[in-house]
């Protein structure tokens, strides 16, 4: 039974930490090294981590200054001893058989990486997200076109994609160490996961897609995805430009183009929605100015020029066309309705 390292980045998640750590120590797969990375927490997460380390011999704690999720994971990778790596966020949890299931699937199919699905946990419901390609295995050049490309985003009709994240995956330590792979800061690239993925899967020889859905992603209040960030659009645009560059270098841009634009356009709509949502706090005039700034962006407008909207859902297509035509007031009103009625 090979040693598997579980890396848990932690920042101010004290209220969720017991649930997370208990779900890991109670795994049916027992040969685990658990690294808790306290990323400069200001609540009692730090104290709890030290208490876990006293209670469980296989738990190691790193205390570091706050640098963000990506760098916290890097700190864990720097001391990891396991043959394989699993990432679990401190405010999420995993079902008791997840690691064993992924490991057995990987060994059975002689793969170096195993990707599962997940459950999205809301306050009032749980939504299962089984990987649509469960049971498939991909080797060498197939990995880029059948795995990585599908992580870049959905097709225009919102089908045929693999949820991009580093949690729910069993990674090879050998690939990570031999190629000195690191996460960037999410303060530089808003999605550090996909940057890591583009570096990792280039070196993978065989990937197996598991039917396991044991990772429980929790829709907690205060998540970075729901907070207002004044530079969110700029960070999303920077990520889009970087992924265009990377896919061209990898020779997979033609297969990735429409997926990348679909994702960029989707997050742009969300940025505009957040501008309206926080208009009382930020001021209506400023919110309108920011929406206008987004709509006038030449990289966004150039992306729309090559975007095939034939299969885009009608509601999204309407908003896309309002962005293209720079109908600022109408966009603001529509987003007010969406925010007011949570649609």
Instruction: Classify residue 29: in a domain, yes or no.
Output: yes
Query: Whole-model pTM above 0.85?
Result: yes
91 falls in which pLDDT band (50, 70, 90)?
A: very high
- Confidence at residue 227, expressed as pLDDT on a 0 to 100 scale: 75
Residues 151-178: what's their mean pLDDT? 90
pLDDT digits (tens, 9 = 90+) for 251-266: 999 999 999 999 999 9
- Confidence at residue 62, expressed as pLDDT on a 0 to 100 scale: 98
Same domain for 115 and 182, yes or no, is: yes
Answer whether 340's CB lies under 8 Å from 304's CB.
Answer: no
- Confidence at residue 158, expressed as pLDDT on a 0 to 100 scale: 65
Same domain for 123 and 244, yes or no, is: no
Q: Which of 218, 246, 266 finishes a domain?
A: 218
Structural domains counted in the chain: 2
- Confidence at residue 229, expressed as pLDDT on a 0 to 100 scale: 85
Tell me which residue range forms the domain holding 326: 232-340
- Confidence at residue 224, expressed as pLDDT on a 0 to 100 scale: 52
Dihedral sign, CA of 305, 245, 253, 309? Answer: negative
C-alpha span between 163 and 133 (Å, rounded) = 11
140 falls in which pLDDT band (50, 70, 90)?
A: very high
Q: Which of 218, 248, 269 finishes a domain?
A: 218
Q: Which of 218, 253, 275 finishes a domain?
A: 218
Same domain for 277 and 246, yes or no, is: yes
The answer to whether residue 159 scores a pLDDT higher than 80 is: no
Q: Give the CATH number of the domain where residue 193 resides.
A: 3.90.550.10
Instruction: Classify residue 309: in a domain, yes or no.
Output: yes
The answer to whether residue 225 scores a pLDDT higher than 70 is: no
Instruction: Classify residue 116: in a domain, yes or no.
Output: yes
Instruction: Classify residue 327: in a domain, yes or no.
Output: yes
Question: Between these two residues, 225 and 112, which has the higher pLDDT value?
Answer: 112
The answer to whether residue 221 scores a pLDDT higher than 90 is: no
Instruction: Classify residue 227: in a domain, yes or no.
Output: no
Same domain for 197 and 284, yes or no, is: no
- Confidence at residue 107, expressed as pLDDT on a 0 to 100 scale: 98
Count the Cβ atoms, other than its own, within 10 Å of residue 342: 5
154 falls in which pLDDT band (50, 70, 90)?
A: confident
Instruction: Classify residue 284: in a domain, yes or no.
Output: yes
Task: Report phi then psi at 218, rounded to 5.
Answer: -100, 130
C-alpha span between 175 and 203 (Å, rounded) = 7
pLDDT digits (tens, 9 = 90+) for 25-76: 999 999 999 999 999 999 999 999 999 999 999 999 999 999 999 999 999 9
The answer to whether residue 10 scores a pLDDT higher than 90 is: yes
Same domain for 176 and 149, yes or no, is: yes
Same domain for 160 and 96, yes or no, is: yes
Instruction: Classify residue 125: in a domain, yes or no.
Output: yes
Instruction: Classify residue 224: in a domain, yes or no.
Output: no
Q: What is the mean pLDDT of the chain?
A: 95
Same domain for 41 and 165, yes or no, is: yes
Same domain for 139 and 253, yes or no, is: no
C-alpha span between 152 and 194 (Å, rounded) = 8
- Confidence at residue 4, expressed as pLDDT on a 0 to 100 scale: 98
Same domain for 201 and 304, yes or no, is: no
The answer to whether residue 222 scores a pLDDT higher than 60 is: no
C-alpha span between 158 and 135 (Å, rounded) = 21
Answer whether 38's CB lies under 8 Å from 47's CB.
Answer: no
Same domain for 141 and 49, yes or no, is: yes
């Amino acid at each position: 039974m090979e040693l598997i390292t579980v890396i848990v980045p932690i920042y101010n998640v004290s209220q969720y930490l017991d649930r997370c750590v208990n779900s890991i120590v109670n795994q049916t797969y027992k040969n685990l090294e658990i690294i808790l990375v306290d990323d400069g927490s200001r609540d009692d997460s730090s104290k709890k981590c030290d208490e876990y380390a006293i209670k469980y011999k296989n738990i190691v704690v790193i205390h570091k200054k706050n640098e963000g999720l990506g760098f916290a994971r890097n700190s864990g990778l720097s001391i990891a001893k396991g043959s394989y790596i699993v990432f679990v966020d401190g405010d999420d949890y995993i079902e008791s058989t997840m690691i064993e299931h992924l490991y057995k699937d990987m060994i059975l199919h002689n793969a170096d990486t195993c990707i599962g699905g997940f459950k999205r946990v809301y306050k009032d419901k749980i939504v299962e997200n089984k990987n649509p390609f469960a049971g498939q295995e991909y080797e060498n050049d197939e990995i880029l076109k059948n795995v990585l490309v599908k992580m870049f985003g959905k097709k225009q009709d919102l089908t045929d994609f693999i949820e991009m994240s580093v949690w729910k995956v069993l990674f090879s330590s050998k690939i990570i160490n031999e190629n000195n792979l690191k996460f960037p800061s999410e303060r530089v690239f808003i999605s550090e996961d996909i940057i890591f993925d583009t570096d990792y899967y280039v070196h993978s020889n065989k990937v197996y897609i598991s039917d396991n859905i044991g990772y429980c992603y929790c829709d907690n209040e205060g998540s970075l995805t729901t907070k207002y960030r004044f530079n969110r659009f700029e960070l999303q645009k920077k990520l889009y430009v970087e992924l265009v560059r990377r896919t061209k270098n990898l020779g997979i841009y033609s297969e990735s183009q429409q997926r990348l634009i679909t994702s960029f356009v989707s997050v742009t709509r969300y940025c505009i929605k957040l501008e309206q949502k926080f208009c009382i706090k930020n001021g209506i005039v400023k919110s309108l100015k920011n929406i206008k700034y987004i709509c006038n962006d030449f990289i966004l407008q150039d992306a729309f020029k090559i975007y095939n909207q034939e299969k885009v859902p009608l509601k999204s297509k309407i908003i896309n066309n309002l962005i293209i035509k720079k109908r600022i007031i109408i966009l603001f009103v529509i987003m007010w309705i969406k925010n007011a009625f949570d649609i």
